[in-house]
Amino acid sequence: MTMPSNRFQKGEAVMGRWPGSSLYYEVKVLSYDTDTQLYTVIYKDGTELELKGADMKRATGFRQSGGRSRSRSRSPSRRRSRSRSPARVTRRSTSRTKEAPKEPKPKDVLEVRVSPLAKPVENNSNNKHDKEVNDTSSRVSEKAEAVLEKNRVGTRYNLRPRKEDPMDQLIEDLQKIVDETLSEPEKQTVGKTAELEFGGKLGAAFMIVFLPAVTFVLLLMCQQKDPSLLDFPPVLPELDTLWDAGVFGIVALWFLFQALLYMLPVGKVVEGLPLATGKRLKYRINGFYAVILSAAALGVAYYQDVDLSYIHDHFMQFAVSSMILSSVLSVYLYVRSRWAREGELAPGGNSGNVIYDFYIGHELNPRIKSFDLKYFCELRPGLIGWIVINFSMLLAEMKFQKLDTPSLAMMLVNGFQLLYVADALWHEEAILTTMDIVHDGFGFMLAFGDLVWVPFTYSLQAFYLVKHPNALSWPWVAVILAIKLIGYSVFRKANSEKNAFRRNPTDPKLSHVRTIPTATGKSLLVSGLWGLVRHPNYLGDIIMASAWSLPCGFTHILPYFYVIYFICLLIHREARDEKQCRKKYGSAWDEYCRQVRYRIIPGVY
Ligand SMILES: NC(=O)C1=CN([C@@H]2O[C@H](COP(=O)(O)OP(=O)(O)OC[C@H]3O[C@@H](n4cnc5c(N)ncnc54)[C@H](OP(=O)(O)O)[C@@H]3O)[C@@H](O)[C@H]2O)C=CC1
Ligand SMILES: CC(C)CCC[C@@H](C)[C@H]1CC=C2C3=C(CC[C@@]21C)[C@@]1(C)CC[C@H](O)C[C@@H]1CC3
């Protein structure tokens, strides 16, 4: 074990950052592990930790606290501490006797420190971190001082029941303060977005125009007799035919109906992952009830002879109304984000550029009281609306093609996509660990994506089949079903295993999995499907997407738009996730990539 020449030597006294905070303490270097590139250090109270070099600094340049302090940050060091709790209240009596004094003697001094037993010192690097460290320790000492004062008064006048040894009670009170203070949400700020994605400001401006335009063109092509790329561009409709107040009313009512279902006090309430502030938001899990109740409402409408093919007949007007709704929502989201507290902003949508932040989403979790707008929009009006649209296309096909029953192709497309949506809402809780909820702000991209892109482009196969029937042989149906089944199995198994592992890594059902530990304390799955490729859930989803297009035959490429777009989306998404995971996990992620070389498709880097 050779120490790297440029860093710390064995036995050297340096300053080590305490994990989970930015408090620096005097430590002594015990050893260095060349594999993990971690130093083993020992604190004054005997706590041994493994720290990254970046979490250690030379004592020069530090001075005793009393000045500025550091803001807290999640130190990615691995902890191998002998002491259970990172914060300990200790009693230091000036008398040398071993046994605890029976009565609090004036000379007994109760010292509350955030362990290890060293005063936090200041890193003279003039960075803004220093403030929080002293804020933390000053919050602890203020509260402790209040308890000491109360105790002095209490002891003097015996104001409250005391344990046999008053000092023990006092220590217990002080320990509670230290624990509470350290568990208080960190007042972390969300820094400016340094790296702009999606082509930066220009890319964002382009997408705000491009996405609605593509949606329009796809729908116009789909309703042509020959939706061939050779017959491009499609004939543009009269502008006044694109707006219908009655259609907009139906869209608005659908949105409100889904909002009502979302607010139903049924289903469990779960917490999301911790935010930058340390807070965890609560989410009502009742999406599957919404699917059931929406299907029931659809059934009632159908049996009440409501002509549901109306949606197909006014499809462009429905798309325009949804675009207007998503745009109004996006403007509302951006305006309200101007008043959001800094800790509530999205790390990826805080560039300071209006267009970019409007597109990506400036606020991370915009809520109206407990109504989470991003979570609601991602899973309810658009996703369930997609299924309603598919059903409308099925009825329209029977009317247009004069069929007594839907075609096999239409039934396959409706069934496959109904399974996909029902599965998403059955496993609704898993959405809470996706990057859209955890990292991305709620802006035009997701508002348009949820309310327009999903219901109107994901239903393209069903829309195509209304006027472009495609007969299927039973053997070919069997092949398509097998492809769907394989895709769904890979998708579901990968997502469920990863989500179960993230929720409870010690789950006995997961005792067989192999993992790579990381300095954050979380581990990475590296066995089974997660040992095959780094995003097996994406692989399963893409396989399913191909099964959605195959029933439409091979006459036109239009029904394959979704699988083509989806592959592009997931490749881009995987790259974004890769960058975030490398930042989160450092060398552990590099090791994961060394062991699992393929990103999404086996054999393809
Ligand atoms: N139909 C559609 O339009 C779309 C569908 N989807 C589907 O949604 C599902 C979720 O997608 P998405 O949120 O993008 O991706 P993931 O569910 O894969 O979430 C990515 C996160 O998972 C964690 N992770 C990655 N690798 C591992 C590992 N080896 N072990 C443990 N945790 C790991 C990391 O977070 P951490 O370690 O911090 O927990 C990473 O940031 C996918 O099945 C995808 O196909 C996604 C987008 C669009
Ligand atoms: C149009 C833009 C360029 C991109 C918009 C992307 C959105 C449509 C998707 C981003 C992540 C999504 C997820 C799902 C639907 C599509 C969006 C919103 C799911 C809910 C689909 C069902 C899966 O089981 C879970 C997915 C989570 C991510």
Residue type at 163?
K
- Confidence class for position 246, pLDDT limits 50, 70, 90: very high
Helix (H) or strand (E) holding 135: helix 130-157
The count of C-alpha atoms lying within 13 angstroms of the C-alpha of 140, restricted to the half-sphere facing its C-beta, is 25
- ipTM exceeds 0.95: yes
pLDDT of 33 higher than 90? no
* Per-residue pLDDT at 95: 42
pLDDT of 274 higher than 80? yes
Helix 315-337 / helix 245-263 crossing angle, nearest 10 deg: 60
Q: Which residue lies with its CA nearest to atom 18 of ligand 1?
A: 535
Contact assessment for residue 501 and residue 512, using Cβ atoms and an 8 Å cutoff: no
Ligand 2 centroid–CA 449 distance in Å is: 7
Nearest atom in ligand 1 to 574's CA:
14
Ligand 2 centroid–CA 430 distance in Å is: 13
pLDDT of 529 higher than 70? yes
Per-residue pLDDT, averaged over 413-423, amounts to 97
Ligand 1 centroid–CA 363 distance in Å is: 21
Helix (H) or strand (E) holding 217: helix 200-222
The share of the chain scoring above pLDDT 90, in percent, equals 53
Q: Buried b vs exposed e over 154-172: b needs ≥16 C-beta within 10 Å?
A: bbeeeeeeeeeebbebbbe
Mean pLDDT of the chain: 82
Q: Is residue 33 classed as helix, strand or coil in its secondary structure?
A: strand
Ligand 1 centroid–CA 269 distance in Å is: 22
Domains by residue range for the chain, with CATH: 13-183 (2.30.30.140), 188-226+235-471 (no CATH), 472-605 (no CATH)
- 518 Cβ neighbours under 8 A, 6+ residues apart: 76, 524, 584, 585, 586, 588, 589
Per-residue pLDDT, averaged over 237-249, amounts to 89
pLDDT of 180 higher than 80? no
SS3 letters for 254-303? HHHHHHHHHHCCCCEEEECCCCCCCCCCEEEECHHHHHHHHHHHHHHHHH
The share of the chain scoring above pLDDT 70, in percent, equals 75
pLDDT of 526 higher than 80? yes
Q: Which residue lies with its CA nearest to atom 32 of ligand 1?
A: 524
pLDDT digits (tens, 9 = 90+) for 465-519: 999 999 999 999 999 999 999 999 999 999 999 988 988 888 888 888 899 999 8
* Per-residue pLDDT at 80: 45
Output the pTM of the full model: 0.74
**Peptide bond connecting 265 to the previous residue in cis, omega within 30 degrees of 0:** no
pLDDT digits (tens, 9 = 90+) for 292-342: 999 999 999 999 999 999 999 999 999 999 999 999 999 999 999 999 888
